[in-house]
Structure 1
Amino acid sequence: MTRETKLILCPLNLRHIKHDYAAYEEAVEMAQRRGAKLIVTTVAPEIERNMNIYDSDAYWGQELRKFIQAHPAEGVDVELIVRKGAVHRQIVKLARERKVDLIVMEAANPKIQDYLLGTTASHVVAHAYCSVYVVR
């Protein structure tokens, strides 16, 4: 018996979104096929490196809305959420809080320190209580 997927979480790294957003496209297609709601989230840093960003919640919220307007999810109920903190922890925490059925996320190109410390995707896969679909 297959599991019913009603809620999909798709975290986006808006700093790199111009280059690749395959996970978002995959999440939208999955939500359309399954009739699921889609939560699109981005995680802002606790302390902004860019001194021109005074209110990171507002700034990243606006950037997230711009992305969704440019790439609409036709026929899908989409909710936007901005979180602050460590990306890997916030993704797992949000998935647990909202009782998400599936997380669809990008696989980063690992650097040497990622082999020692672990990537965001590997942390989410290891700690999430739901299924995780990693897009390369």
Structure 2
Amino acid sequence: MAKDVELLLCPVNLRHLETNTRAYDEAVSMAKRRRAKLIVATVAPEMERNLNIRDSEVYWSQQLAKFLNDNPPDGVQVETVVRKGAIHRQIVKLADERKVDVIVMNSANPKVQDYLLGTTASHVVTHAKCSVYVVRG
């Protein structure tokens, strides 16, 4: 049985959004065109380096809500998800669990100048069961 609405996943690295929101912008645009639901997800580290963050899931949920408030996905139904663990594994796991149709993500950490896909994007492209749309920074 086919799903009624297409489902897109856009993982965002909240530590680097000040330099690059192109994948998120593209995901919102794509969701509008396809009349799809958008999952905006972030992955918190297992061990938080910032000792001022007592509950990383709460902290990153608040940061994700702030990001969406600052960058509203007008006209798109959005769900937010915060996971903990290895970024590349959690993206693939979430996409599989939710039966996502397309993952829209950045190619690499914006601080890394590279001619190849970043390790996270490369892992996701290789292991995801759905299509992956990689946005170059």
Match of 1:21? Answer: 21
1:90 counterpart SS class: helix
Match of 1:44? Answer: 44
Q: Write the distance in 2 (CA, Å) between the matches of 1:59 and 1:128.
A: 28
Q: Write the distance in 2 (CA, Å) between the matches of 1:15 and 1:124.
A: 19
Total equivalences in the alignment: 129
Match of 1:75? Answer: 75
Following superposition, the deviation at residue 68 of structure 1 comes to: 0.2
Residues 48 and 56, structure 1, Cα contact 8 Å, conserved in 2:
yes
Following superposition, the deviation at residue 111 of structure 1 comes to: 6.5
Residues 5 and 101, structure 1, Cα contact 8 Å, conserved in 2:
no
Q: Normalising by structure 2, what TM-score?
A: 0.90
What do you get for the CA RMSD once the two structures are aligned?
Answer: 1.7
Q: How does 1:1-136 map to 2 (within 5 A)?
A: 6-108=6-108, 110=112, 119-136=119-136
Structure 1 segments unaligned to the other structure (5+ residues): none
Runs of 4+ in 1 over 6 A off after TM superposition: none
Residues 23 and 135, structure 1, Cα contact 8 Å, conserved in 2:
yes
CA shift digits 1:92-115 (9 cap, x unpaired): 000000000000000115568xx8
1:132 counterpart SS class: strand
Q: Write the distance in 2 (CA, Å) between the matches of 1:25 and 1:132.
A: 15
Q: Write the distance in 1 (CA, Å) between the matches of 2:74 and 2:60.
A: 22
Q: Write the distance in 2 (CA, Å) between the matches of 1:63 and 1:48.
A: 15
CA shift digits 1:77-104 (9 cap, x unpaired): 0000000000000000000000000000
Following superposition, the deviation at residue 5 of structure 1 comes to: 6.9
CA shift digits 1:42-83 (9 cap, x unpaired): 000001011000000000000000000010111100000000
Structure 2 segments unaligned to the other structure (5+ residues): none
Following superposition, the deviation at residue 129 of structure 1 comes to: 0.2
Q: Write the distance in 2 (CA, Å) between the matches of 1:62 and 1:46.
A: 17
